Amino acid sequence: MSSHHDDRDGVSRRKVLECMTWAGTGVLWTVAGGVPTSLGIMAEAAAQTSGMTFLQISDSHVGFDKPANPNVISTLEEAIAKVKALKTRPAFMLHTGDITHLSKDKEFDDAQRIISQAGLDTHYVPGEHDIIDEQQGQKYKERYGKNAKGAGWYSFDQNGVHFIGLVNVVNLKAGGLGNLGAEQLAWLEDDLKGKSASTPIVVFAHIPLWVVYETWGWGTEDGGQALALLKRFGSVTVLNGHIHQVMQKVEGNVAFHTARSTAFPQPAPGAAPSPGPMKVPDDKLRSVLGIADITYKVGTERLAIIDQPLQG
């Protein structure tokens, strides 16, 4: 995990690792002067008065009922309640995949019922858990991907920012990582054609686009090819989920960030025998699902992660 940004942010790698065990509810993003900045969902969001704000939630895993969190419906509802309580109303929401646990109709229905209560346009990309119906992704496409290309990729513009939703959970190869594939990469190249290098770009996909931890498959095989296509742009922000913990780094003009899950935490890379759901004591669940505020500014600005648990 190399990082090209200096240590002026004052947050040591160890501190970041400590923070990674939190599972929060969402990350609020704001775009001011073309540079997306992630804010906490609570206090700092309320202080934000200018620019466009949007929200990222991830990995709601509706249908999961194992000890790590037997009631993921409740925690998703709490996340949405937080969204509704924001003083600064976000323009829209991104969901970076694993909406459901097993791609069942009831799981999709429940997720839709709860998430729609935020009253925000929500743009989705699928996680690997959303495409495990018998037809391998048909249900997802019927619900969320009607106007999308391929397995569900698309782009849209909002307030001068170009948003690109990518799919890196289909046609995975044995022994490999997440996969975009030649067809999607060709589409991406075409999508970016003619865009000014000063256009702020936000890319969102389920599995991290950069390699976080190869042993656990936390990365995207051909993510580098997508990043090469984005190289000429002055501001690129890559938002992912999948690993149920916050990780971030800055490399050149690209800021990478993974969001927490609304369902259950996963261990830090290598901290457990497998990346499976991490069980914390019941009385601690709300504290690890609590809100972690992230203030993240490209370049010289300070990066701060502040733990704000739901309880405790």
Partner 1 sequence: MKLPGLLRGALAAALLLALASALPAAARAAELEVKIDNFTFAPQRITVKAGTTVTWTNEDDIPHTVTSTSAGAFRSKALDTDDKFSFTFTTPGTFEYFCSLHPHMTGSVVVETATGAATP
Give CA 308 to chain center in angstroms: 19
Place of tokens 């790590």: 68
Question: Does the footprint of partner 1 cover residue 152 (CB under 8 A)?
Answer: no
Question: Does the footprint of partner 1 cover residue 102 (CB under 8 A)?
Answer: yes
Write out the two tokens for 149.
């290309």
Nearest approach, Cβ of residue 172 and partner 1 (Å): 4
Question: Does the footprint of partner 1 cover residue 185 (CB under 8 A)?
Answer: no
Map residues 119-148 to x or -, x wherever contact with partner 1 holds by CB under 8 A: ---------xx--x-x--------------
Write out the two tokens for 204.
């969102």
Residue 21: CB atoms within 10 Å: 18
Question: Does the footprint of partner 1 cover residue 2 (CB under 8 A)?
Answer: no
Cα gap 295→284, rounded to integer Å: 24
Question: Does the footprint of partner 1 cover residue 67 (CB under 8 A)?
Answer: yes
Cα gap 18→41, rounded to integer Å: 20
Question: Does the footprint of partner 1 cover residue 66 (CB under 8 A)?
Answer: yes
Question: Does the footprint of partner 1 cover residue 270 (CB under 8 A)?
Answer: no
Nearest approach, Cβ of residue 132 and partner 1 (Å): 4
Are 219 and 169 a contacting pair, CB within 8 Å? Answer: no
Write out the two tokens for 69.
């969190």
Of 2, 147, 274, 300, the residue at the interface with partner 1 (CB under 8 A) is 274
Are 257 and 37 a contacting pair, CB within 8 Å? Answer: no
Residue 164 phi, psi dihedral angles, 5° rounding: -130, 120
Residue closer to partner 1 (CB basis): 35 or 243: 243
3-state secondary structure of 76: helix
Are 60 and 263 a contacting pair, CB within 8 Å? Answer: yes
Residue closer to partner 1 (CB basis): 100 or 235: 100
Question: Does the footprint of partner 1 cover residue 281 (CB under 8 A)?
Answer: no
Name which of residues 193 to 222 contact partner 1 (CB under 8 A). Answer: 214-217
Question: Does the footprint of partner 1 cover residue 177 (CB under 8 A)?
Answer: yes
Residues near partner 1 (CB under 8 A) are 64, 66-68, 101-103, 128-129, 132, 134, 172-177, 214-217, 273-277
